[in-house]
Amino acid sequence: MGKVFDYIRKELENGALHMTLIDPDKQTPEEAGRIAAESASFGTSAIMVGGSTGVGLEITDRTVEEIRAGVGIPVISFPSSAGGLSPRFDAVYFLSMLNSRNPRHITGEQAYGAVLVKEFGIEPIGMGYIVVEPGMKVAEVGEADVVGRKDLRRAAAYALAAEYFGMKVVYLEAGSGAHLPVPPDMIRGVRRAISIPLIVGGGITDPESAVAAVRSGADVIVTGTVVERNGGLSRLKKIVSAVKAAGTGAA
């Protein structure tokens, strides 16, 4: 088992975690470094780097360098294609968009990516990635057949398929900037279906919805967009504290 996944599992023994997502296209590398350092000081457990639109390798590399200079926590690639990989990452969420209509996003990019992951020597963490309504940009780019907000069975079925494939984690994604996060009852249904860690993100912008997700069974809460708003960092601080205080276990 890889070092980063081991670290995640260990951290999870103490309750739910928060991870901070940074899109290299949305700020300068220096600013990204500052956001990462602040996030780490609040108690975020890892920095994820990625964006839905093709992020350039140079900007990704510079962003990861700046982040690494300021934090001791893992820096994990969250790629939208094989092009998002870089040897500077500690690990990569090696994800398959299970509900894409296009095999390119299920296994195609992954075949290119696998070769790079090996060459770069970064740790792959196999992930079943499920895009839930509204799905936003990632649904569009990934040609997702989005899971409807009420379609709890379909979400749980994809998640169980991920576990049976041997994937290490499941990610329920409402899409970056979604006006509504993944519904708590969907999180609850997926939690009941699987025994691997459940990551939830997209549209979580306040401590209340983060806590609702944790109480419904999310192991890891991911936020990205929230720091882009006015007062975003203080909001992020509240979210991270709330996630850590909420602990684990479905309500």
Q: Which residues bind ligand 1GP (CB under 6 A)?
A: 21, 173, 176-178, 201-204, 222-226
Nearer to ligand 1GP, 32 or 69 (CB): 32
CB of 138 to ligand 1GP, least distance (A): 6
3-state secondary structure of 132: strand
CB of 118 to ligand 1GP, least distance (A): 25
Q: Are 185 and 215 in contact (CB under 8 A)?
A: no
Nearer to ligand 1GP, 6 or 99 (CB): 99
Nearer to ligand 1GP, 118 or 238 (CB): 238
Nearer to ligand 1GP, 89 or 118 (CB): 89
Go through the chain and tell me how many residues it has. Answer: 251
Nearer to ligand 1GP, 150 or 179 (CB): 179
Both tokens assigned to 43: 């108690």
CB of 232 to ligand 1GP, least distance (A): 10
CB of 147 to ligand 1GP, least distance (A): 14
Q: What angle do CA 139, 27, 79 make, to 5 degrees?
A: 40
- Select from 60, 76, 70 the least CA-distant residue to 21: 76
Separation CA 98–CA 162 (nearest Å): 8
Nearer to ligand 1GP, 10 or 238 (CB): 238
Beta-bridge partners for 174: none
What Rg, from alpha-carbon coordinates, does the chain have?
A: 16
CB of 224 to ligand 1GP, least distance (A): 3
What's the one-letter identity of residue 134? P
Both tokens assigned to 28: 């300068």
Beta-bridge partners for 96: 128
Separation CA 162–CA 160 (nearest Å): 5
Residue number, nearest CB to ligand 1GP? 201
Count CB-CB contacts under 10 A for residue 99: 23
CB of 121 to ligand 1GP, least distance (A): 25
What's the one-letter identity of residue 66? E
